[in-house]
Chains A and B, each alone.
Chain A
Amino acid sequence: MPVTTKGELKVWQRRDRAKQFKIWFGWFIGVAIFMFCWKIISDATTWFFVYDAPRIAVDIGGRAWPPRWSYLSELWKPMWDTINIATLGTLLAIIMGVPVAFLAATNTTPSKRFLRPLALLIIVSTRSINSLVWALLLVSIIGPGIFAGTLAIAIRSIGFVAKLLYEAIEEIDVNQVEAIQATGASKLQVIAYGIVPQIMPAFAGLSVFRWDINIRESTILGLVGAGGIGLYLQSSLNILAWPQVTVILIMILIAVVISEWVSSKVRLAII
């Protein structure tokens, strides 16, 4: 036990000197890295604009209020598109993600050597790239519109759905699977009656969760031309129509809050 003696008195300490020094040194390195990074940001910043920021913020706030509510009538169609992008995108992602999950799970994959690494590669590459980047790519390939947005959401979500689902498949109870196997069921029957019922709650939960995230993501895809309410946000920003921006932001906030509420209710009902 690290104890120092001060004359007669023995004082207990939590760590001995070497360990304490190591921890202190770790913090020192961390703070140094942070300060270095901060200096680079600070050098790249025009500080005059930052000092001016409160005035600008008040100015923009003044322009943005009151919201131009009459603009609302033009927003129903893009909002409907946004919801479609998220919903159909999630559906497509599920259709593509479920087979990938079964190929990636160690206990269901047909070949550990070839198909599993391939499935894991699909999961990692679709997951690491933001849906906005996918949208950027798809708009330049298949042209602007909600179709590109839907595909972007779908591709980004494949990795998410497949990753969480394959982890659920790997955690299933083996006894139930063996019981089905003992009845002489074929491989597909084992999956249908032994595995699927076990992963169904996890599957439903993560689908709804992803749908909720996708509503949020699809609100911005319009910035790169992939349809939805983001398109109107972009054009309102371009013409500096701040009262319209306020209306759009309020609409997005309401949509996100509602979808989050629906998703948490559904997940509570399932689990």
Chain B
Amino acid sequence: MSSRTWKRPPLIKDTTWRYGLLALMALYFVAAFFSYDVNWSRVYEGLDRGWTFIKSFTNPDFTTRWTDISEGIWESIIITVTSTVVGIILAIPLALGAASNLAPKPIYYLARGFIAVARALHEIIVAILMVAIFGFGPLAGFITLTFSTIGFIAKLLAEDIENISKPQAEAVKSTGSGWWQWINYAVQPQVMPRLIGLSIYRIDINFRSSSILGLVGAGGVGATLNTAFDRYEFDTAAAIIIIIIAIVMVLEYLSGFIRARVQ
């Protein structure tokens, strides 16, 4: 009469792996923890300022720097619109090249390589280089975001093109269509909902990114935000952040609405 109790099955079956991974993780956390050098008295001093910042959200100051804020926000929106449009237009041929079922091998590898580079570098790093090359201003921001939009859309669109239904594609081909007609009537209708969804999602991402490009001089509201923080004008910073959140929420609502209609 042995009493048996049930135990949850462990996540990783093999015991050496389970305890080995745990030990490694523990070791890592100890090492990471000791490499942190936190100045607690400075943190404690800062708590007051943190509280001021949180309080400033109840009393944001839209008026004092309104011209700077509105110019910055407009510039962010304009960069978002132009870079998304140009990025999508350039991403479509790249996606066709990066789809393994359409493109010959050399083009495929070339396109995939470009996509990998475009996705690996953070927007800010690209923006720094673009500012160095093209000078300060929204053009550098536009080129930066166009570059990362191309990588994003091309990668996801290429994956969708690779997953199209073959019978439809063959049906169009068997009517004797040329390559362009084949792309236009067999591939394009199948990937269109996804492309629209991605594009709208990308508008959202581009707006969020365009609000920080100003930190490195690539246009947009980031420069104003940076100055506000540097001068401890938390009420102005709060106003900018509230505007950004509001616009992102509107975009997110719109994108949900449009994606629900398309798909």
Contacts and interface: CB of A to CB of B under 8 A. Distances in A.
B132 A60 contact: yes
A127 to B, nearest CB: 8
A44 interface: yes
Given A81-B35, A128-B245, A50 B42 contact: no
A253 interface: yes
Contact of A147 (B43, B241, B248): B43
A80 B42 CA distance: 23
Given A56-B132, A133-B211, A140 B248 contact: no
Contacts of B120: 216, 253, 256-257, 260
B125 A129 contact: no
Given A56-B132, A128-B244, A223-B124, A40 B78 contact: yes
A60 B244 CA distance: 35
A34 to B, nearest CB: 5
A42 B219 CA distance: 12
Contacts of A200: 11
A122 to B, nearest CB: 12
B37 interface: yes
B225 A133 contact: yes
A110 B137 CA distance: 49
A34 B133 contact: no
B212 interface: yes
Nearest to A88: B32
A136 B50 contact: no
Contacts of A57: 133
Nearest to B209: A130
A84 B35 contact: yes
B138 A44 contact: yes
Contacts of B232: 140
Contacts of B248: 124, 127-128
A45 B132 contact: no
Contacts of A49: 134-135
B42 A223 contact: no
A99 interface: no
B139 A44 contact: yes
Contact of B137 (A44, A127, A140, A260): A44
Contacts of B139: 41-42, 44-45, 50
A129 B249 CA distance: 11
A18 interface: no
Interface in A30-56: 33-34, 37-38, 40-42, 44-46, 49-50, 53, 56
A143 B43 contact: yes
Interface of A: 33-34, 37-38, 40-42, 44-46, 49-50, 53, 56-57, 60, 80-81, 84, 87-88, 124-125, 127-130, 132-133, 136-137, 140-143, 145-147, 150, 200, 216-217, 219-220, 223-224, 233, 237, 249, 252-253, 256-257, 260
The 10 A-B residue pairs with the shortest CB-CB distance in the complex, in nearest-first order: A49-B135, A128-B248, A142-B46, A143-B42, A45-B139, A37-B78, A141-B46, A141-B50, A84-B32, A220-B124
Given A33-B81, A34-B82, A145-B39, 8 more contacts: A41-B82, A46-B135, A56-B133, A80-B35, A84-B36, A132-B212, A133-B212, A133-B225
18 contacts: A40-B75, A45-B134, A56-B132, A60-B132, A60-B133, A84-B32, A88-B32, A124-B252, A128-B208, A132-B215, A133-B211, A133-B212, A137-B53, A141-B49, A141-B50, A142-B43, A147-B38, A150-B36
